[in-house]
Amino acid sequence: MTDRPGQADPRDRGLFGPDSVTWRVLSEPVMWIAGLRAMYLQALHPLVMLGTWQNTAFAKPDEAWGRFTRTVEFVRVRTYGTTAEVERLGARLRKVHASLRGVDGDGHEFRLDEPELLLWVHCGEIGSYAEIARRSGVHVTAAELDTFVDEQRRSAAVVGLDPALVPASMAELDEYYAQMRPRLRASTEARHALRLSFTPRLPPALTPLRLIVPPLNVLGYATMPRWARRMYGTPAIGLTDAAVTLALRAAFESSTRLPPHLLQLAAPSPARAGRAA
């Protein structure tokens, strides 16, 4: 979604604006790895994974890629869109989520917009951005990462969460994960999705990514907490945490040499970039 001249107030910076930590963090191409990490982490909530599996074509590679690219577009609009664009997008997303249901192994129906599920997805995404920024060498301080997590409570509101109930710092995110761990596991669907992610079918326009995606997947997976990797059954996959951090730093340094449209997770549209100048 792009802005058209004359349709938006040039002073409208949306949820964040150019002075936000959010714009700084999400403009980095290395955040692609964070997006992959988030998907692996989010899949460890059995109902989140089951609801996703039952309501999307996740198991069909071509359609699964389409779902991923729609998620990338959602992040872009949420981050850089005008207030009106974000409100329209949020209303549409909340309407879709409210209509979706899943059925657990005991035959009980659940809604995909239950606050617990929405909060887990939110924290998995935002925690992944913050962790990859910290470990890859993005130029943000610990205090700025706290600010980033706090800013992202506005994103939580877009999907229907009460911002007051959403973690507002890195420490609060850690506390949330500690509370959630007893409820998590790598379900059959999560393990199958993990395998599929390493052999994606890419549209022709993104064929150059075919050689890049597998190592990015490995990095995304390896950056998860040890307890998350243990749930999948591969706690280290042959890499130490120190080696993974070095690889992340190398990815951050080299990502500026790649075409931005291939790796930017939430790049602003040219119109919005011009308004930020």
- What pLDDT digit, counting tens, does each position of 129-170 carry? 999 999 999 999 999 999 999 999 999 999 999 999 999 999
Domain count, the chain: 1
Question: What tokens does 161 get?
Answer: 């969460």
Decide if 162 is inside a domain: yes
Decide if 10 is inside a domain: no
Decide if 275 is inside a domain: no
Decide if 273 is inside a domain: no
**Residue 3: pLDDT over 80:** no
**What's the mean pLDDT in 221-245?**
85
Decide if 14 is inside a domain: no
User: Distances from the Cα of 30 to the Cαs of 26, 101, 206, in angstroms?
Assistant: 9, 34, 17
Q: Which sign does the torsion angle of CA 180, 181, 187, 191 carry? A: positive
What local confidence, expressed as pLDDT, does residue 65 receive? 63
Q: Which of 51-55, 187-191, 270-274 has the lowest mean pLDDT?
A: 270-274
Decide if 2 is inside a domain: no
Answer whether 183's CB lies under 8 Å from 45's CB: yes
| More confident site: 32 or 185 | 185
Decide if 174 is inside a domain: yes
Show the domain range for 245.
21-264
